[in-house]
Amino acid sequence: MEVILLERVAKLGQMGEVVRVRDGFARNYLLPRGKALRATEANKKRFEGDRAQLEARNLEAKAEAEKVGEKLDGKTFVVIRQAGESGQLYGSVSSRDIAEAITTGGVSVGRQQVIALHPIKTLGLHGVPVRLHPEVEVKVTINVARSPEEAERQERGESLTVREETSMDDLGLEVGAALAEAGGDMGRD
């Protein structure tokens, strides 16, 4: 199906372009969200008449997104989760959790705007892009910690994961000693 884009759509085109997309993508995403119109002659004429108004609205939205982006860019938001000693979370931090943390921090962001390719499953500092407008993207840092005190320590650069320092030689000696004890006990009965 051919559609006229009413705004910039990533990996598809700029405002005003007539592009060919799959029918389902147009029916289920572009048309209901007001991102495109079917490319009929009547709609092409209507778009040309409204083009100046659409471009002005787009510039306003972009300017507003840039203003919000300046406040948001590079900020760190803390998310508290339970985790094991190795730093592995018992759950995960999804784009919804990240959007809630940013909104709690003072900037209203929807979960669709958070571009987390996969959920966060470990403690630490994680960079996450946020798309405020199709042409404005900023990066925030999500500090995943067990407590606010640990979050402060992570912010300073400390590593909070505990890894046991056991070499293979030490492990071999421990297993050998355990086997010797077990073998010695078995022979006495």
pLDDT in tens, 44-82: 888 888 888 888 888 898 999 999 999 898 899 999 999
- Whether residue 100 sits in one domain with residue 46: no
Q: How much is the pTM?
A: 0.70
Burial class, 44, CB count within 10 angstroms (exposed 0-12 / middle 13-18 / buried 19+):
middle
Residue 19 has pLDDT above 70, yes or no: yes
Closest to 104 measured CA to CA, from 143, 140, 78, 67: 78
Answer yes or no: are the C-beta atoms of 174 and 182 closer than 8 Å: no
- Whether residue 118 sits in one domain with residue 45: no
What integer pLDDT is reported at residue 164 of this predicted model? Answer: 47
What integer pLDDT is reported at residue 175 of this predicted model? Answer: 66
Q: What is the DSSP letter of 83?
A: B
Alpha carbons 72 and 128: distance in angstroms, whole number: 12
- Which segments of the chain are extended strands (E)? 2-5, 18-20, 36-38, 76-80, 88-93, 120-122, 124-133, 136-145
Query: Which range marks the domain in which residue 6 is found?
Result: 2-63
pLDDT in tens, 77-117: 999 999 998 889 999 999 999 999 999 988 889 899 999 88
| Alpha-helical segments (H) within 26-167 | 41-72, 95-104, 148-156
Answer yes or no: are the C-beta atoms of 43 and 4 closer than 8 Å: yes
Burial class, 183, CB count within 10 angstroms (exposed 0-12 / middle 13-18 / buried 19+):
exposed
- Whether residue 52 sits in one domain with residue 77: no
- Whether residue 147 sits in one domain with residue 78: yes
Number of domains in the chain: 2
What integer pLDDT is reported at residue 55 of this predicted model? Answer: 87
What integer pLDDT is reported at residue 186 of this predicted model? Answer: 54
What integer pLDDT is reported at residue 180 of this predicted model? Answer: 73
- Whether residue 84 sits in one domain with residue 28: no
pLDDT in tens, 26-45: 999 999 998 999 999 999 88
pLDDT in tens, 134-188: 888 999 999 999 999 998 888 888 776 655 455 555 556 666 667 777 765 555 5
Closest to 39 measured CA to CA, from 54, 19, 24, 14: 19
